[in-house]
Amino acid sequence: MKNITPAADLDPATFRPCGECALCCKALPIHGSQDLDKPAGKWCRHWANSTGCKIYENREEVCRTFFCLWKINALPEELAPLKTKCVLAIYKEGVLIVYVDPSYPTAWKEGRMGSYLTVWSERFMIEVGKQRSWVHPVTGLHVSRWRVTPVGETINVKEILG
C-alpha cells in the first residue's frame, strides 16, 4: 500500500478537482511562511466560506504543491476528505499522515476511513489540531485496538505485540 507515486511524478490532468473541499486549508499546519504560518486545525486566514481562497491565483508554493492522496486519485471516491473529515498525505519520507478535522477527532478510525486504515501495514501519524500521535498497527486486531502513541513518547514493543 505504501508504493504511491509522488505527486511530482504524476500528470496533473489526472488529478481530481478539489471542488468544494478545502479541508487541507483547515486541517494541515503550515510553518515557515510569514504570510500563511498557522497551526493545524485552524482555518487559513485567506479562506472565506463564501468565496474560497482569497489569494488562490497567487497562493504560496506550499499550497500550490500540496496534493492529498484523494486529489491524485490514490484513494477511492468514498474516502474523499469532505466525506471522511480526514486528509491523507505521504511525504518523501514515505510515512502516511492522516490530518483530521478537529471538529471530528475520531473520524480517522470510523467508517470507511477506519476500514481503510485497518489494512495499512505500517505505522502512520495522525494529527488532530495540535495533537500528533503515531498509530502502530498490530496484526489481526481491530482499529479500536491499535496502539496510539503521542509523538515523542517511547513505546514498549513487547506491550504492543502482547
Measured CA to CA, the distance from residue 138 to residue 160 in angstroms comes to 7
pLDDT at 7 over 70: no
pLDDT at 87 over 60: yes
- pLDDT, tens digit, 9 for 90 and up, residues 63-76: 888 899 999 999 99
pLDDT reported for residue 76: 94
pLDDT reported for residue 96: 92
pLDDT at 136 over 60: yes
CB neighbourhood size of 87 (10 A): 26
pLDDT reported for residue 156: 43
Task: Calculate mean pLDDT across residues 4-15.
Answer: 68
Evaluate if pTM is beyond 0.85. Answer: no
pLDDT at 137 over 70: yes
- CA distances to 26, 60, 138 from 121, in Å: 28, 34, 8
Q: 140 falls in which pLDDT band (50, 70, 90)?
A: low
Contact 24, 89 (CB under 8 A): no
- Residue 27 exposed, middle or buried by CB count within 10 Å (0-12, 13-18, 19+): buried
pLDDT at 85 over 80: yes
Q: Where are the domains of the chain?
A: 21-161
Candidates 104, 102, 112; CA nearest to 143 is 112
Q: 61 falls in which pLDDT band (50, 70, 90)?
A: confident
- pLDDT top residue among 84 and 10: 84
Q: 154 falls in which pLDDT band (50, 70, 90)?
A: very low
The overall average pLDDT reported for the chain is: 81
Alpha helices in the chain (DSSP H): 24-27, 61-64, 81-84, 111-118, 157-161
